[in-house]
């Protein structure tokens, strides 16, 4: 599987962000990617206006995703991102969507909300309650996670035991003391402990770190982006997964997995 990682700084205008996403989709297609991963919360954001995500939220059949779906038609590129969707009580849901050939083929409502480091995502976001599905892309099974989920190894392990070869992580990782180190260590750990590829994309800009990367099943970072906007590519090799799981059979050796998932 060839993956493309597109990182950019999300603006307050959904129209601008839709054009950026569509441009990255075109570039990913030109690079013959099977999968394009974009950051978390790409619909609209404004660091000077924390309530912008609520004001700008759109339903899944709203104009933002209609543009994305139209751009995805008549090709086999799978594109993954998260958007804020209106919910009850004046709040929103942080919904990961998997888009392919004009359709939303899977969705996932973020389980773990970022109530940490003096931030409180739950003030405006309602958490999901279901483990995300696996999605098949180019013959490989892809597990879905969103940003803060990476700090909870139980979810990644559950997805790996269900058969994930690849774990994807759209994120908006906030800058701060040691935060870049946390990002790389956590992404690497989730790959290594589950012998999966990790594909992690971070928003860049004045508040977020960027630093998108791919880590292979033995903990080797194969590509990395810097702090600015850009598109990078990586090839994920099923043979590398098979090798990792033959020399490091942690999924077979795990004694805490429910029998039906082993």
Catalytic residues, by residue number, are 40, 110, 147
Closest by CA to 38, choosing from 171, 151, 143, is 171
- Neighbour tally for 2: CB within 10 Å: 14
What's the rounded Cα separation, in Å, for the pair 45 and 185?
27
Q: How far apart are the first and last CA of the chain?
A: 25
The secondary element (H helix, E strand) that includes residue 234 is strand 230-235
CA distance 35 to 29: 9
Quickly count: other Cβ atoms within 10 Å of residue 225's Cβ.
20
Nearest-5° Cα angle at 189, 39 to 130: 55
Work out whether strand 166-171 and strand 140-144 pair parallel, antiparallel, or are unpaired.
parallel
Rounded Cα gap, residues 99 and 70, in angstroms: 10
Q: How far apart are CA 176 and CA 99, in angstroms?
A: 32
Residue 184 phi, psi dihedral angles, 5° rounding: -70, -40
């Amino acid at each position: 599987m060839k993956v493309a990682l597109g990182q950019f700084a999300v603006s307050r205008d959904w129209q601008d962000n839709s054009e950026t996403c569509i441009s990255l989709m075109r570039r990913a297609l030109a690079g013959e990617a099977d999968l394009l991963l974009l950051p978390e919360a790409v619909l609209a954001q404004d660091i000077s206006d924390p309530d912008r995500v609520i004001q700008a939220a759109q339903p899944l059949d709203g104009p933002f995703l209609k543009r994305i779906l139209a751009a995805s038609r008549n090709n086999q590129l799978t594109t993954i991102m998260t958007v804020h969707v209106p919910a009850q009580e004046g709040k929103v849901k942080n919904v990961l969507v998997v888009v392919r050939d004009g359709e939303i083929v899977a969705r996932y409502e973020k389980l773990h909300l970022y109530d940490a480091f003096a931030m409180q995502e739950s003030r405006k976001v309602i958490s999901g309650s279901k483990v995300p599905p696996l999605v098949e892309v180019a013959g490989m099974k892809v597990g879905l996670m969103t940003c803060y989920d990476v700090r909870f190894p139980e979810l990644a392990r559950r997805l790996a035991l269900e058969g994930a070869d690849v774990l994807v992580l759209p994120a908006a990782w906030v800058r701060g003391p040691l935060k870049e180190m946390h990002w790389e260590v956590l992404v690497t750990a989730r790959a290594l402990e589950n012998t999966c590829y990790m594909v992690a994309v971070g928003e860049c800009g004045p508040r977020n770190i960027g630093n998108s990367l791919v880590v292979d099943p033995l903990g080797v970072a194969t590509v990395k982006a810097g702090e600015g906007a850009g598109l990078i590519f990586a090839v994920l090799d099923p043979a590398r997964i098979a090798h990792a799981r033959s020399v490091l059979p942690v999924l077979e050796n795990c004694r805490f997995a429910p029998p039906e998932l082993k």
